[in-house]
Chain A
Amino acid sequence: MSLLEIIDLRAKVGDREILKGINLTVKHGEVHAIMGPNGSGKSTLAGVLAGRELYEVTGGQVLLDGKDLLEMAPEDRAREGVFLAFQYPVEIPGVSNMYFLKAAVNQIRKHRGQEELDAMDFLNLVREKMQIMKMDQTLLNRPVNTGFSGGEKKRNEIFQMAVLEPKLAILDETDSGLDIDALRTVSGGVNAMRSPERGMIVVTHYQRLLNEIVPDYVHVLADGRLVKSGGKELALELEAGGYAALGIYDEEEAVGRV
């Protein structure tokens, strides 16, 4: 059975259809990159998979290890192993990173029938993962993402992923805003999590990330559809010729960013 099966998925925001029939299969152990112009629907796809209420699914099916993902609440999807690294991580003043993450780990462990971690075990786990991500430990005591720099927020996302050990990781432009050293660290963290059981969807605009996290497949999303798929060389083609080479215009240039 495939890890993730997306069949003719359609979704809208308000009255506007954004996803116009997406088909994608991710098998255990695979890394799929999704590229595409601004506004083409990449974050929408990521959000629909994670269960964001803003999007209304109007058709299609999504199966995670054969289970109907679309009928689950966002927290149940996370407990079943879906993880979304946000393009724009949300600042939550007043909620400490540590408290938040401990609650998350333990709710997920409970769902999996594992014992909850006590304070000591949790701290050890967190320390180990922070080291991999070269993260400052003081970030743990701060409110979630609040006042974090762009780079710190992205690291924090991957750090959370490392702690929560999902089955399916969706990384939405995790590379944006990272300098080259941070990009290496973050990619290293992601690569360390590649395993035969885990699948990943990596949304990016840039080849430089795909040099670090080498994908098995690359897809191009344009105007709500996957218009082209190929191996990792497809990303190199795009880098050289841009989307225009594929006959796709960039919405950002055409109508400006919404």
Chain B
Amino acid sequence: MTAVAEQNAQWLELFTQQPAAEPWIQALREEAFARFSAQGFPTTHHEEWRFTNVAPVTKVARAARPADKPAAIPEQAKPHLAKYASLDHPFVALNTAFLHDVRVITVPRGATLEAPIEITYEGPAEGTAAHPRTLILVGANAQCTIVETYKGEGTYFTNAVTEIVVADSAVVDHYKIQQESLSAYHIATLQAAIGRSAAFSSHSISLGGALTRNDVNAVLSEGSDANINGLYIVNGTQHVDNHTAIDHAKPHATSHELYKGILDGQSHAVFNGKIIVRQDAQKTDSKQTNKNLVLSDDAVIDTKPELQIWADDVRCTHGATIGQLDSEMLFYLQSRGIGRKDARNLLIYAFAQDIVDRIKVQSLRDSLERTLFEKFHEHPE
């Protein structure tokens, strides 16, 4: 048997061991599994996975055990579940093939939720995989804030998919805090369908994980607005890959994207920002920025914008920078009596400041500030 066939055989066994679900769920699973089997796990020969080798992930993934209780998927998920996130992404297909517990959050039309909706995913047991699935349905004119937190202990694989439907004129702020264990694997897709004149913001903060791959995809409608932000902080041998795809399908939509990374040790970060402006999408206004602060000689960053523009009356800008701590700034701080470590921390912190400032949930901002300080406080010289 070839490696792929062997892998598929093992997955098939795992797949068939799942307790049966209602027919509509079973149908989703089967379609997804077929798509996954056809693709297999991606290799670095796939353009979308060029810099991210998922081989270590697949080992843990295979050790997953099937669930022992029936699936719990609310009926209201039916019209939307798996209708947005594409099965062309092998890990989305895998997640969908193992649909089990789906968290469904519905915000009724016109409702304004003051308090954030908090969802916390604890990583699965040592050596196993989990496929958390979330569906968020926000009605027209509604306003809400969602905070997803991923954490855990030991070596495991979290393969998450979140679909968000933002109806017309709704306002949704989404935060994802990834603080998985440093030996965990985290692959996640956030798929947002943004309605007419709706405003959506995404803040993806990646702190943990041995290997992280985030896909953030947003499809915009006429007059909608997307703010797509990210902060990744990696050290040691951590690997983090952020792929974003913003699809300007209709005219007069705006998107602002800012991803910032702080790399230390022998870490590796990847940023790939795709902006699609369809022929129809005149008067699109889109701006993409990726900035990286590299603290060590051995850290590596691969950053690439990917613009596909089919309309002519648009404004699209993009830019990427890779820099080190500024020695003049360091000296200035030190010359005022601030110790070298503290001076470094201040500058690192300052680099992340504008991402932190965009976080509107006070408690989240406070805890991120604390994390930032702690993360760099004991930095070796």
CB distance from B259 to the nearest CB of A (A): 17
Within the assembled complex, what's the spacing in Å between the Cα atoms of A79 and B331? 14
Residues of A within 8 A of B331 (CB): 50-53, 74, 90
- Number of B interface residues, CB 8 Å? 23
In the complex, whether A188 has a CB less than 8 A from a CB of chain B is no
List 6 other contacts, CB 8 Å, given A73-B340, A77-B335: A74-B335, A90-B326, A94-B347, A104-B333, A107-B338, A111-B337
In the complex, whether A78 has a CB less than 8 A from a CB of chain B is yes
Pick out which of these stretches binds chain A: B165-173, B198-206, B349-357.
B349-357
In the complex, whether A84 has a CB less than 8 A from a CB of chain B is yes
Chain B's closest residue to A143 (CB) is B350
Given contacts A73-B340, A75-B340, A107-B342, contact A94 B335 (CB under 8 A): no
Can you spell out 26 A-B residue pairs with CB atoms less than 8 angstroms apart? A50-B335, A51-B331, A51-B334, A51-B335, A75-B334, A75-B335, A77-B335, A86-B332, A89-B332, A90-B326, A90-B328, A90-B329, A90-B331, A90-B332, A92-B350, A95-B347, A95-B350, A100-B346, A103-B338, A103-B346, A104-B337, A104-B338, A107-B337, A107-B338, A160-B336, A164-B336
Within 8 A of A (CB), among B218-237: none
Chain B's closest residue to A88 (CB) is B328
Within the assembled complex, what's the spacing in Å between the Cα atoms of A84 and B331? 11
Within the assembled complex, what's the spacing in Å between the Cα atoms of A111 and B334? 14
In the bound complex, do residue B342 and residue A103 qualify as a contact, i.e. CB atoms below 8 Å apart? yes
Residues of A within 8 A of B343 (CB): 75
Within 8 A of B (CB), among A52-100: 52-54, 73-75, 77-79, 83-84, 86, 89-90, 92-95, 99-100
CB distance from B332 to the nearest CB of A (A): 4
Residues of A within 8 A of B337 (CB): 75, 78-79, 104, 107-108, 111, 164
In the bound complex, do residue B347 and residue A92 qualify as a contact, i.e. CB atoms below 8 Å apart? yes
Within the assembled complex, what's the spacing in Å between the Cα atoms of A78 and B334? 8
Could you tell me which B residues sit within 8 Å of A by CB distance?
Answer: 326-329, 331-340, 342-343, 346-347, 349-351, 353-354
Given contacts A103-B338, A107-B338, contact A94 B333 (CB under 8 A): no
Residues of A within 8 A of B332 (CB): 86, 89-90, 92, 144
- Number of A interface residues, CB 8 Å? 32
Chain B's closest residue to A79 (CB) is B337
In the bound complex, do residue A93 and residue B350 qualify as a contact, i.e. CB atoms below 8 Å apart? yes
CB distance from B354 to the nearest CB of A (A): 7
Within the assembled complex, what's the spacing in Å between the Cα atoms of A73 and B334? 8
Residues of B within 8 A of A54 (CB): 327
Chain A's closest residue to B350 (CB) is A94
Within the assembled complex, what's the spacing in Å between the Cα atoms of A241 and B353? 53
Within the assembled complex, what's the spacing in Å between the Cα atoms of A90 and B325? 13
Chain A's closest residue to B332 (CB) is A90
Residues of A within 8 A of B333 (CB): 92, 95, 100, 104
Chain B's closest residue to A78 (CB) is B337
CB distance from A13 to the nearest CB of B (A): 14
Residues of B within 8 A of A50 (CB): 331, 335
Given contacts A51-B334, A53-B327, A100-B346, contact A94 B339 (CB under 8 A): no
Chain B's closest residue to A81 (CB) is B337
Residues of B within 8 A of A86 (CB): 332, 335
Among B333, B347, B351, B353, chain A packs the most CB atoms within 10 A around the CB of B333
CB distance from A151 to the nearest CB of B (A): 18
Within the assembled complex, what's the spacing in Å between the Cα atoms of A213 and B334? 27
In the bound complex, do residue B347 and residue A78 qualify as a contact, i.e. CB atoms below 8 Å apart? no
Residues of B within 8 A of A94 (CB): 347, 349-351, 353-354
Question: 1/0 per residue A39-50: CB within 8 Å of B?
Answer: 000000000001
CB distance from B24 to the nearest CB of A (A): 51
Residues of A within 8 A of B342 (CB): 103, 107
The 7 A-B pairs at the shortest CB distance, nearest first, are namely A94-B350, A78-B337, A74-B334, A104-B336, A90-B332, A94-B353, A108-B337
CB distance from B347 to the nearest CB of A (A): 7
